[in-house]
Amino acid sequence: MVNQLLGVSSESEVNEMAQLFSDFVDGCLSVPINLPGFAYHTAMKAREIIIGKINKTIERCRQEGGEVGNGVLGRLLEEESLPDDAVADFIINLLFAGNETTAKTMLFAVYFLTQCPRAMKQLLDEQESLRSTFGGHGEQMLSFQDYKAMPFTQCVIDETLRVGGIAIWLMREAKEDVEYQDFVIPKGCFVVPFLSAVHLDENLYKGALMFNPWRWMEAENQVDPGEGGSDVLLSICSTSEWLPNLLKQTT
């Protein structure tokens, strides 16, 4: 992911950036004590180095009048209205948000499917059926209509996110006093909703600990495609009345 975003190709550069980013992520999930010897301090130092390397890459590119490969950084530099610090922040935020999330989600999907041969067969049958419509053009890119023609594939994705979701919690700051049941969440307080507590709640999902992609074919779990988003994420909001209200008051 580092080489795709920054356009770097050297293995040593990629390894160095990967280590720095690993230090940054570990520190962001630790106690925020910015003193030497603490993970948070190491993370902030790593972030400074990463930002510095990004800025040097930007400066070198502009001095040479060339392009930064086909990475995201090169595309961002084409937008002349973006200041350099905004470009650097955008890159590091993308790295943080996408850190191994896709790879780990795919890993969970493969694991769950190997434990459920019936789901594996139905998934393969659906995709092979779509592939046959390409008439031997196996390299053809999928369109949005093709994705919509694979409803069971989407069910597998939703169930994977429910049982083995990477984002198990969120952090939000209340921008005003928010009433929840018999409590008032004061303005400025941080709220951490644990999504997995909803995902694995037997009161909300029958057989919550079981991988069952067919549950997303049931009427109560159907979502209007026009609303956007994943079925599993919208299902969370519909089962926790306070969450949508809280999100409206937060950034």
Q: From CA 234, how far away is CA 231, in angstroms rounded? A: 5
Q: What percent of the chain has pLDDT over 70?
A: 76
Same-domain pairing of 109 and 46: no
Same-domain pairing of 60 and 72: yes
Q: Is 184 helix (H, G, I), strand (E, B) or coil?
A: strand
Same-domain pairing of 122 and 221: yes
| Residues in the chain, overall count | 251
- Choose one of 52, 75, 97: the last residue of a domain: 97
Amino acid 144: pLDDT: 81
Same-domain pairing of 116 and 17: no
Same-domain pairing of 64 and 106: no
Judged against a pLDDT cut of 60, whether residue 238 lies above it is answered with: no
Same-domain pairing of 120 and 243: yes
Same-domain pairing of 88 and 209: no
Q: What percent of the chain has pLDDT over 90?
A: 24
CATH of the domain at 112: 1.10.630.10
Amino acid 110: pLDDT: 95
Q: Which domain range does residue 172 map to?
A: 101-248
Same-domain pairing of 128 and 202: yes
Instruction: Give the CA distances from residue 55 to residues 6, 89, 95, 151, 216, in Å, rounded to whole numbers and listed in that order.
Output: 11, 10, 16, 44, 46
Higher pLDDT, residue 102 or 127: 127
- Choose one of 64, 80, 97: the last residue of a domain: 97
- Choose one of 72, 97, 122: the last residue of a domain: 97
Summarised one tens digit per residue, pLDDT across range 146-200 is 888 899 999 999 999 999 887 777 777 888 888 877 888 888 888 888 888 889 9
Same-domain pairing of 42 and 132: no
Q: Is 24 helix (H, G, I), strand (E, B) or coil?
A: helix
Summarised one tens digit per residue, pLDDT across range 58-92 is 887 777 665 555 567 777 777 667 788 888 888 88
Same-domain pairing of 84 and 117: no
Amino acid 90: pLDDT: 83
| 167's tokens | 């984002």
Same-domain pairing of 124 and 244: yes
Amino acid 251: pLDDT: 45
Judged against a pLDDT cut of 60, whether residue 236 lies above it is answered with: no
pTM, entire model? 0.62
Amino acid 151: pLDDT: 93
Same-domain pairing of 74 and 186: no
Sign of CA dihedral 87, 93, 95, 101: negative
Amino acid 25: pLDDT: 83
